[in-house]
Amino acid sequence: MNNEFENNGMDITPSLRIEPEALEVLKEVHGSLAGQKVRAYIVGGFIRDILSDRDAVDIDIAVDMDAPAIAKHIADSLGGKYVLMDRVNRVARIILPAGDRSGQQDQWILDFTSFNGDIEQDLAKRDFTIDAMAVELGQLANTSHNAQLIDPYQGSKDLDRQVIRMVRDTALESDAIRVLRAVRLSVEYGFDIDRKTETEIQRCAHLIKDVAGERVREELVKLLTVSHGGQIISYLDKLNILTALIPELDEEKGVEQPKEHFWDVFEHSIKTVSAVDFLLKQGVWEYADKAVLGDTPWSVKLAEHFEKEVSNGSNRRAMIKLAALLHDIAKPATKTVEENGKMRFLGHGIEGAAMVVDILTRLRFSTKEIKLVEMLVKHHLRPTQMSQEGLPTSRAIYRFFRDTGEAGIDILMFSLADHLATRGPGLINSNWQEHITIVNHVISRYYEEEQTVPHVKLVDGHDLIGLFGMKPGAELGRILELVREAQAAGELTNRQEALDYIRNCLTTGVK
């Protein structure tokens, strides 16, 4: 921090360094309120971020009138999009296009809340001391170099101490999403949660099951985008948050696996998250010194692929980590032990995919997010089944991407993470190198196919009906798929070859 305070509740700041683009937004908001008898304060995260010399993205504004009405007026005045976030608690949002305000940021998000009485009473209801600071909007917009910082709970000192501390003893109990937010802030800022707050989190963690899924999803997505995901998941478990959110994970604890696995199902799942981070260049693999990890796949294209947005703030990197946590969720239910002691988990991918849909629907993840994680869980064993000896055939690669679509690349990288988290310190280098070779080959083929001219359709359903007397239905679709597969494998290059191939299929009954 570059500011010092007396911390007597309301202090004069030597300077609040606000980026010009953010300052322009504040001035526009203040200007749109001109002439209205509204007391408005900038509160929470924006103040926290500018005091920490961090880029501030979202702006929280508390007003002493009806927040949705004020937000609607400002949205109309500034050409922003108005969203009513919470009808009961009177919370509203403005999504303001950056326009000329910023060359780097697409939009500004302004959240409006209402307060009664004075601003100190509002701050007393907030979660953590570093979020319980405020500055009057007019002062910040016009005289940021000489504005009064309202800091009754010494949040600025806690910023210096790098501590997450609840404002009051009932802060977490009054809004259970704060148990998850505390971890997220701790991770994002690299701060410690103070002991009393941590103890209270453990006590109140069970209450998060009653929090609206949309709010939980937002916090989880932010956590999943941060590096060192395995450590974060372990910490959530230590604080009793993880299984309060996803009780199904509790069933994994202590479930033994075959001797190839170094950890039980639960620990393996957490280690898989860490392995994903390692492979996607967001973390380290703690057993790397015990193995020759070799030429693990990575490129500019892969980096861009995993940064692609999936839905409303989430990207593919975050979703593959979520899949890593949940990929073996059905193992406890599918586990069988044969007379010779051999353990099996038959169908755990398919059953796990169905469970994942239920879990993520409950947590209000989007349809796109759910579909991607579902595909990852359902097909997570496919890459190791593509080839018995040597590299996968063109037909096998075609079938893999036919069935997995856009999730194929994610599944390939996930399979490597699953491998690392299965063997742990007991990784067999020859098996690992073989796995890497296969994944590198399939990814290369995928990007080569992307760059080639799309295959020309050699035949269609009308040909099968008119030339071969087939009727519309499943069998006609099966034959067309056989043609597409053979064409993808390079076995068919023109229409006549395709017709001959169909004739042979119908004669011999090829399956």
Phi-psi label, residue 32: left if phi above 0, alpha if psi -120 to 50, beta otherwise: alpha
3-state helix, strand, coil in the chain (%, to 5): 55, 10, 30
Task: Show the DSSP H helices in 92-228 as ranges.
Answer: 119-123, 137-142, 155-161, 171-174, 177-189, 195-204, 213-224
Question: What H or E segment, with its residue span, contains residue 42?
Answer: strand 40-43
Q: Count Cβ atoms below 10 Å from residue 317 Cβ, excluding itself.
A: 23
Backbone angles phi, psi at 447, to 5 degrees: -75, -30
Q: Count Cβ atoms below 10 Å from residue 229 Cβ, excluding itself.
A: 29
**Could you give the domains of the chain?**
9-160 (3.30.460.10), 162-245 (1.10.110.30), 279-451 (no CATH), 461-508 (no CATH)
- The neighbouring-strand residues paired with 150 are 10, 134
Give residue 100's Cα distance to chain centre.
30
CA distance 379 to 370: 14
pLDDT value of residue 8 = 43
DSSP string, 364-391: T--HHHHHHHHHHHHTTTGGGGS-SSSS
Using an 8 Å Cβ cutoff, are 80 and 29 in contact?
no
pLDDT value of residue 455 = 66
The series of mean pLDDT values per 10 residues for the chain, 511 residues long, is 42 63 88 85 90 84 92 90 83 80 68 90 93 91 76 94 96 94 94 97 96 91 92 96 97 95 97 96 85 84 95 94 98 94 94 97 96 97 86 89 92 97 93 93 87 69 82 84 79 80 81 66
User: Where do we find the tokens 């981070």?
Assistant: 277
Burial pattern 135-160, b for ≥16 Cβ within 10 A else e, equals bbbbbbbeebeebbbbbbbbbbbbbb
DSSP string, 237-283: HHTT-HHHH-GGGGGGTT----TT-SS-HHHHHHHHHHHHHHHTTSS
pLDDT value of residue 102 = 53
pLDDT value of residue 354 = 97
**137-140 contacts: CB < 8 A, separation 24 or more?**
137/26, 137/29, 137/30, 137/33, 137/40, 137/41, 137/42, 137/61, 138/30, 138/40, 140/16, 140/18, 140/26, 140/42
pLDDT value of residue 1 = 41
Q: Count Cβ atoms below 10 Å from residue 195 Cβ, excluding itself.
A: 10
pLDDT value of residue 5 = 36
Question: What H or E segment, with its residue span, contains residue 192?
Answer: strand 192-193
pLDDT value of residue 23 = 85
